Amino acid sequence: MTKEKSADLGQTTMTYSIVTTEPAALGLIGLAVAALVIGSGYLQLTSHTDKALMIPWVLFFGATTQLIAGIMEFKRNNIFGATVFSTYAMAMFSIATTLFISIFGDATIDIAHYGYGLIAILFFSIIATIASLMTNKVFIGILVAVDIAVVALIAHYLAGSSAFLGGLFLMVTSALSFYGAAAILINSMAKKQVLSLGSPIWKP
């Protein structure tokens, strides 16, 4: 995206450009890595005793990377990318903080609070899924996978059901996010479509 600005200096007019590159690839990579790390825990591919090692991956990739992408999307006037990346970044900061408190905190905690937090995230995620129908099929797939994962994890934390489905769809989220990041990065570098993201379903 290029913004043109001009400044009059006496009789001289200077024109310069501010170029803001596409940040979605960065945000999707952050989501992909965090979803992979969190999903591996729910699928019991990693030890529960080492859950503290999830914190840096969730904090830096899931939270910080998506926050950077969200801020950049605000500068590009992309309300969808800005809102989705920024909100999921806050969710990842919350997850990392919850992990830290549950592992290192001395007080007894009620994990149901986490479940209700996920309900709030689900409400937003459904809104984002509807909005994604106007973007592309990869973004739609990512958000639908997130919706299913969050529903499964709400049931896990509030009803004691298995977390397997949640972990499985976090892995699906990760795979689709990696593909989306690859498509945006490669297409941008090639300056043509190499990997398809799919057309929008809803064109109001």
Instruction: Give tens-digit pLDDT for 58-83.
Output: 999 999 999 999 999 999 999 999 99
Least confident range from 15-29, 51-65, 119-133, 158-172: namely: 15-29
Percent of the chain clearing pLDDT 90 (strictly above): 79
Q: Helix (H, G, I), strand (E, B), or coil: what is residue 133?
A: coil
b/e burial code for range 139-164 (CB count within 10 A of at least 16 → b): bbbbbbbbbbbbbbbbbbbeeeeebe
* Res. 2: pLDDT tops 50: no
Please give the Cα distance from 114 to 33 (Å, whole number). Answer: 21
* Res. 1: pLDDT tops 50: no
The pLDDT mean for the chain works out to 91
The pLDDT of residue 47 is 79
Q: How many CA within 13 A on the CB side of residue 1?
A: 12
Tens of pLDDT, residue by residue over 132-160, are 999 999 999 999 999 999 999 999 999 99
> What would the two tokens of residue 187 be?
């297409």
Across the range 154-178, mean pLDDT stands at: 97
* Res. 4: pLDDT tops 60: no
Q: Is pTM, for the whole model, over 0.75? A: yes
Q: Is the Cβ–Cβ distance between 128 and 83 less than 8 Å?
A: yes
> Which has more pLDDT, 97 or 15?
97
What is the DSSP code string of 17-77? EEE----HHHHHHHHHHHHHHHHHHHTTSS-GGGGGGHHHIIIIIIIIIHHHHHHHHHHTT
106 confidence band (pLDDT: 50, 70, 90) = confident
Please give the Cα distance from 26 to 151 (Å, whole number). Answer: 26
List the end-to-end C-alpha distance of the chain, in Å, as a whole number: 24
Tens of pLDDT, residue by residue over 11-21, are 666 665 667 78
* Res. 173: pLDDT tops 90: yes
Percent of the chain clearing pLDDT 70 (strictly above): 90
Q: How many CA within 13 A on the CB side of residue 188?
A: 13
